[in-house]
Amino acid sequence: MSDAAATASKPSPLHYISEHLQDLRNKGTAPKLRVLDGEQKPVAVFDGKEIINLASNNYLGLTTHKSLRKASLEATRKYGVGAGAVRTIAGTMKLHMELEEQIARFKNVEACVVFQSGFTANAGTVSAVLGKEDLIISDELNHASIIDGARLSKATIKVFKHKDVQDCERILQETANWNGHKLIITDGVFSMDGEIAPLPELCTLAEKYNCIMMIDDAHSSGVLGRNGRGTVDHLNCHGRVHIQVGTLSKAIGAMGGYVCGSRDLIDYLYLRARPFLFSTSHPPGTAAACQAAFTLLDSPEGERLVKKLWANTKFFKRELKKRGFQFKASETPIIPIHVGEVAKAFEFSRKLFDAGVFAPAVGYPTVAEGKARLRAIVSATHKREHLLRAADTLAEVGKTLGVV
Ligand SMILES: *Cc1c(COP(=O)(O)O)cnc(C)c1O
């Protein structure tokens, strides 16, 4: 047998992937990607079908806002399409520095560093700030990027029950003699249930037990607080949170993440956060679009958009409740519709899509096993008629599946 023939007859060393994949497909838990053709809007075309869109994180409609588009186009025309290097070599443009200063002013903190994504902001920051002698105390439903950052840091990780301040304190008492640094970390708004973190109580614990306090405000930036300043502003915890992470990819409408804190923290991250050091910075168009987004947020139009988002959220929740849906925990525009079994959640989402409404199913590993759900997200740009039609359709399809 020739070498080539011998190679061809051997199974690929990756064949186990195909087996896992087939297994997921058989269980009905391997959905295909929905493909958007056109703009990310409240009514959009996915897979060639026009649907009411309850699936995007575009809370304020900024992905298609004219002032962001204009800023992005102008910066692209002037400066080209790429930054050409990582920040620490030659990829720091004036646009990046201006954006960081603007965000720091907006959040009323000393300094800010922008990352390529919220994911890299979390992962890069936790792993730069903590080391193997240290302790991370983390809410059990924190985002994957926090968990990955915690693992990369090699610190000891202890998990407290979701939003359970007493359980967090139990861990702090048990580790009272810990020699290394300690970090308490929580999402500001939990992305799967739409709940707000008990931030004031966690800050009190951080102060009592001398911990660093960190919050991930991905779903709160542009949503909570004055003009969308985030959870710290919403819950009046100014000056009590050492590290505030946010994303530029959700309500801000473009792409990226940021970390806000003291000047020294940010200068240290410039030297030690690995995504900052080893991955190229934002294209000029993206940095300029983000600047335009913060300018907009901090204007009367921004205030109006945030108010509209909350008015739409109240309206949609009321309409869903009238139709028998329950989502006690949600305090934000994220509305979970609990189904339980993952295959059924995928079936619900598929039937809903066929009926003209897009709300994705989320199952394991995004949420715990047996807690599968649909997740609906309201935006400022939905019209009442969209939300009414979506509520009717959810109820109709939900009934056929015994979910409501
Ligand atoms: C979406 C999200 C991120 C990641 O943000 P990207 O900018 O999309 O990478 C981080 N944390 C939480 C809680 C999120 O929901």
**Residues 217 and 130 both lie in one domain:** yes
pLDDT of residue 8: 67
Contacts of 66 (CB under 8 A, 6+ apart): none
Residue 255 lies in a domain: yes
355 and 293 housed in the same domain: no
Contact 215, 206 (CB under 8 A): no
Same domain, 181 and 284: yes
State if residue 257 touches ligand 1 by the CB under 6 angstroms criterion: yes
Nearest to 287 by CA among 90, 97, 106, 66: 97
* Residue 153 known to be catalytic: no
> Binning pLDDT at 50, 70 and 90, where does residue 7 land?
low
Q: Say if residue 70 is in the same domain as residue 152.
A: yes
| Residue after which a domain boundary falls, among 297, 331, 359 | 297
Q: Are residues 257 and 394 in the same domain?
A: no
Cα gap 20→204, rounded to integer Å: 46
Positive or negative, the CA dihedral 56, 246, 175, 203 is: negative
Is the residue at 115 inside a domain?
yes
In a domain, 172, yes or no: yes
The answer on 279 and 204 residing in a single domain is: yes
**Residue matched to tokens 């996915």:** 46
162-216 pLDDT, tens digit each? 999 999 999 999 999 999 999 999 999 999 899 999 999 999 999 999 999 999 9
Q: In this structure, which residue's CA is closest to atom 1 in ligand 1?
A: 218
Beta-strand relationship, 49-53 and 357-358: parallel
186 Cα to the center of ligand 1, angstroms: 13
| Of the candidates 104, 102, 83, 78, the residue with the CA atom closest to the CA atom of residue 93 | 83
Ligand 1 mean position to 276 CA, how many Å? Answer: 17
Query: Is the Cβ atom of 282 under 6 angstroms away from ligand 1?
Result: no
- Domain identity same for 70 and 196: yes
Segments forming the whole domain that contains residue 340: 31-59+300-400
**Whether residue 320 is found in the same domain as residue 283:** no
Judged by DSSP in three states, 54 sits in coil
Residues with Cβ < 8 Å from 98, sequence gap 6 or more?
A: 287, 291
Does residue 18 sit within a domain? no
Domain boundary among 297, 314, 336: 297
Is residue 11 in some structural domain? Answer: no
- Is residue 117 within 6 Å of ligand 1 at its C-beta? yes
Confidence of residue 27 (pLDDT cuts 50, 70, 90): confident
Exactly one of 96, 107, 163, 219 is catalytic; name it: 219
- For a mutational test of ligand 1's pocket, the pick from 119, 255, 290, i.e. the residue with the most ligand atoms closer than 8 A to its C-beta, is 119
pLDDT digits 0-9 by tens, 343-393: 899 999 999 999 999 999 998 878 888 889 999 999 999 999 999 999 999
Residue 186, ligand 1, Cβ within 6 A:
no
Catalytic residue among 191, 220, 330, 349: 191
Q: Which atom of ligand 1 is nearest to the CA of 191?
A: 15
CA dihedral 196, 148, 257, 197 (to 10 degrees): 10
Whether residue 48 is contained in a domain is answered as yes
Long-range contacts for 383-386 (Cβ within 8 Å, ≥24 apart)? 383/42, 384/312, 384/315, 386/42, 386/43, 386/52
Q: How far apart are the first and last CA of the chain?
A: 63
Residue 250 falls in the annotated catalytic set? yes
| Ligand 1 atom having least distance to the Cα of 256 | 7
Q: Rounded to the nearest whole angstrom, what is the distance from the C-alpha of residue 344 to the centroid of ligand 1? A: 26
DSSP state of 177: T
Per-residue pLDDT tens digits for 274-297: 999 999 999 999 999 999 999 999
Are 368 and 277 found together in one domain?
no
For residue 385, the domain's CATH number is: 3.90.1150.10
Token reading at 85: 């290097």
Residue 2: inside a domain: no
Of 3-7, 72-76, 178-182, 185-189, the least confident: 3-7
Residue 242 and residue 117 share a domain: yes
How close is the Cα of 252 to the center of ligand 1, in Å? 12
Sheet holding 357-358, edge to edge: 43-46, 49-53, 357-358
Is the residue at 392 inside a domain? yes
C-alpha–C-alpha distance, residues 226 and 246, integer Å: 15
Q: How many domains are contained in the chain?
A: 2
Same structural domain, 95 and 221 = yes
Q: Give the confidence band of 5 by pLDDT, cuts at 50, 70, 90.
A: low
| 147: nearest Cα among 206, 195, 187 | 187
pTM of this prediction? 0.95
Nearest CA to ligand 1 atom 12: 218
- 50 shares its domain with 179: no
Q: Is 191 one of the catalytic residues?
A: yes
Domain termination site, one of 237, 265, 297: 297
Spatial contact of 152 and 123, defined as CB atoms under 8 Å apart:
yes
Peptide bond into 365 cis (omega under 30): yes
